[in-house]
Amino acid sequence: MRVKFIGVILAAVFCLAAVSFFGFYLWRQGQTADPFFEFAPIDSVIYVSVRDSVWPEVKTKISDLPFKEFFKQTAENEIFSRLDLSNDVLAQVKRAAFLLVPDENSQLKKVFVFEFKEAWQIPVKFREYTIFGQNFLVVAESKSVLNKIKQVKSGAMFSLSRRVQYKKNNGLFFLYLNAGNLKSYFKADNQPLNNFFVRLSDNDLFLTLKKKNGAWQFSLKGQTATGRDLSLPEPGQKPLSESLPKDFSYYFSGLTLKEIFSYLNSAEAGISDLNRQTQASFQTIYQNDLSVFINGVSTKPIDAVIFAGNKEYAPGFGLVLVMPAPSGGQIKQFEDLARIFLAQKRPAQKERRLSDKSAVIEFLAEPDNWQWAEETINNDQKIRFLSEPALAFEWAYAIKDNKIFLANSRRQLADFFAGKDLITKNLISRCGQSNSGRLIALNPQTQPPELLPYLPAGLVLLKDSGKELAGCIIDF
């Protein structure tokens, strides 16, 4: 009898545990399922979902997210002119979403979706808004975009959920970026740096953000248009740049010229044929085998540092490349290639008399018209440079610590050597990462004003960790 009683007790405990676990599972599913995808039109460029922390012991609110500039500009937006964003809206919601949706003129318009804790808390002091169900408020910058949201909810237009693979927000912040629509936006604003990023925006991006050990950390995944995960290259070696100036905009480590050329070949129609034709002409005309130079340096790791503020020289932004020092023969070949490039861009003009006494102008590429010069910067560092002001062209390089530093101006190279504000290994350590592998850093302080609301206040650091990029936000 006693054994049977114990069996009943154990069975009851097991059933209670199973019910509790199942209840917790359903609660957890409800807490992490993202309810806002069904509001987003399929042509949305950016989709952001935010929430208060799920666990009561972690008292992180939406307003605590590290996007102070976004909250500031949103509060000043005409949409919220008759409300206090913090007290009237954010304090009353548990989840919210932000969308960038193109209107009828292909202009991106902001849309905000709020899930209020109680229906009676929903304010109605808006020009363009609608309420769905009892708890959801949608506010838009334009009537046409608000109508698109209504069409999505009525089934007349597809929602973003048909395109997005990941539909959960397990943390405080989830972002989806549509690469195709972003590429169209970059192409519309034909700036040199935008053209560079057009070639990088081939994959949809998914970013999640969480707070761990007092710091903001995130992971970034990519998905191709076919729905497959973006496979990142194998992690490279340690970064070559020991320090960075505080005015840098973007930093990439662990690249190789081979990967860059391979990417350009696939991204630009005809560029592979152009490379072959260029190599053939260099060999025939100048007895300079371009393939030897490319093969000699193509697999070496490269660090690339971009300065968006330097628009003086081609290609329209500042650039510094760092790689292991090549051999003396490779350096000479590089110098010859640069002179040949200028000779072809600025051929000499000579008048010739034909047999019938008529005159013609002959264009001749004369590499000897351009010669590399040498000077000393920062008191003791020797550099070599080649300039052609008519083409806004200048390249300079220096050999230091068994590395070659190549920049698109002498001033850029001098500023790079002088700027030791940010020690690379210290940044990586503060992010809790190892000092090896590919590294990407973005400096929000040097971004265009229109991008600032969408960036955190600190430096964004990403490390390659296999099939995803993991990183953090660092105050500096």
Q: What is the pLDDT of residue 292?
A: 61
Q: Residue 69 pLDDT > 90, yes or no?
A: no
Strand bridging mode 173-177 / 46-51 = antiparallel
Side-chain half-sphere CA neighbours of 132 within 13 A: 18
SS3 402: coil
Q: What pLDDT digit, counting tens, does each position of 411-443 carry?
A: 999 999 998 888 888 888 888 776 666 788 999
pLDDT one-digit tens code per residue, 334-387: 898 888 888 888 888 887 777 777 777 877 778 888 999 999 988 889 999 999
- Name the average pLDDT for the chain: 77
CA distance 125 to 426: 48
The 10 Å Cβ neighbour count of residue 9 is 10
- Please report the pLDDT score of residue 440 as a whole number: 86
Rg (CA), the chain: 29
Structure tokens at 215: 């710091």
Strand 459-464, strand 204-212: pairing: unpaired
Catalogue the long-range contacts made by 399-404 (C-beta closer than 8 Å, 24 or more residues apart): 399/325, 402/324, 402/325, 403/240, 403/322, 403/323, 403/324, 403/325, 404/322, 404/323, 404/324, 404/325, 404/326, 404/331
Confidence tier at 11 by pLDDT (50, 70, 90)? very low
Q: Which two tokens mark 14?
A: 């097991």
Instruction: Provide the β-strand partners of residue 140.
Output: 111
At residue 467, the pLDDT reads 58
C-alpha to C-alpha distance for 2 and 107, rounded to whole angstroms: 76
Q: What would the two tokens of residue 309 be?
A: 């503020």
d(CA 379, CA 414): 10
